[in-house]
Amino acid sequence: MSVTANAWEVGDFYTNDPTGVPAVVVYVDESGEHGLIMSPMLFSEKELAATIKQKESSMKYAEKMGAKYAAKAGVDMEALQQAQQMAGGFQGPQYTTTVEFLQQFPSFSDWKTHDKGHKAKTFKTYIDDLAAGNTEYGEQNTKAVFDYCAANGVDMELYFPAFSYASRLGEGWFVPGNDELELVSKTFVESLGEKAKFKGSEVDAKRRAVIAKMGNADAFFPHFDAIGSSTMLKSSWAENNKEKTSKIVSTGQGFGLGVLGQALMATVTASLKDTYYSLLYMQKEVDKMTGKKYYAFCTNLETGRIVAFKRF
């Protein structure tokens, strides 16, 4: 048996990419050396500022309360402060690296402009044109959108913001498809869909442990939930994978979407019926604390969190 010195685990923070994008490992193959990384979410300038403000407020409170209880417990406060400084402060290097990257990254237009583009009749025409060749493979779908927009003079940021984001991140980044997103789900569940059998408490514990690895940078990455796919509802994949799909029963709960909640939880309208799946950690009875939980490809989420993947 051999042990690799470059072993990665899901949830690890990844800053080795040549594009300079701070990322999180979301899938690792059996070698432990290769897999998939995920970019931060796409934010508008306003959303990013609100998220940073909210996160830093909660961190200051946590730091204050931690110091208070440490003092009561007789902890050496000077040693505690020195340890925090060596670790990059309470915010930590993961947080500061991600914030610095996002603040210098070209901002996205506001979501109102994005929504107008998706409601336009021309958007449905573009979707119909692309649907026939759409697959479960993110790299293929991303290339298809790049080529289509270039050939037809389509404003990619207005109509396909996820693909525009992947393009601006740099070489190798793509919008994940259902194939890549199913690999992500394998960290937590063996199979997808409402009929999958597993203990929700065990999956919740796995998710908490993996998310904890992100440190305070977790505010800028999906918590392995509501991740937007490049696979369309009218794709070749859809025909043979209905058992892996499901619908949101109610949008009453925000699914932890924070400042993006209202924008991302809108249900599909008639004009958006042929758009994309999202990998969602669902609960059958959303109005109760106890209900069957399962991962599935959601068919009635207008758009999941916009991120890009890359192979390493």
In SS3 terms, 68-107 reads as HHHHHCCCCHHHHHHHHHHCCCCCHHHHHHHHHHHHHCCC
Percent of the chain with pLDDT over 70: 73
- Residue 312 CA, chain-centre distance (Å), reads 18
* pLDDT for the residue numbered 126: 92
Its pTM stands at: 0.83
* pLDDT for the residue numbered 148: 97
- Res. 258: pLDDT tops 70: no
Mean pLDDT of the region 294-303: 86
* pLDDT for the residue numbered 19: 95
Question: DSSP letter at 305?
Answer: B
* pLDDT for the residue numbered 304: 81
Mean pLDDT of the region 78-98: 65
Mean pLDDT over the full length of the chain: 82
How does pLDDT run across 131-144, given as a tens digit for each residue? 999 999 999 999 99
Residue found by looking up tokens 């931060």 in the block: 40
229 sits in which H/E element: strand 227-232
C-alpha span between 7 and 126 (Å, rounded): 42
- Please provide the size of the chain in residues: 312
Q: Crossing angle, helix 121-131 and helix 138-152, to 10 degrees?
A: 130
- Structure tokens, 174: 């793509």
The closest of 122, 90, 116 to 217, measured between CA atoms, is 90
Q: How confident is the model at residue 6 (pLDDT cuts 50, 70, 90)?
A: low
Mean pLDDT of the region 147-173: 94
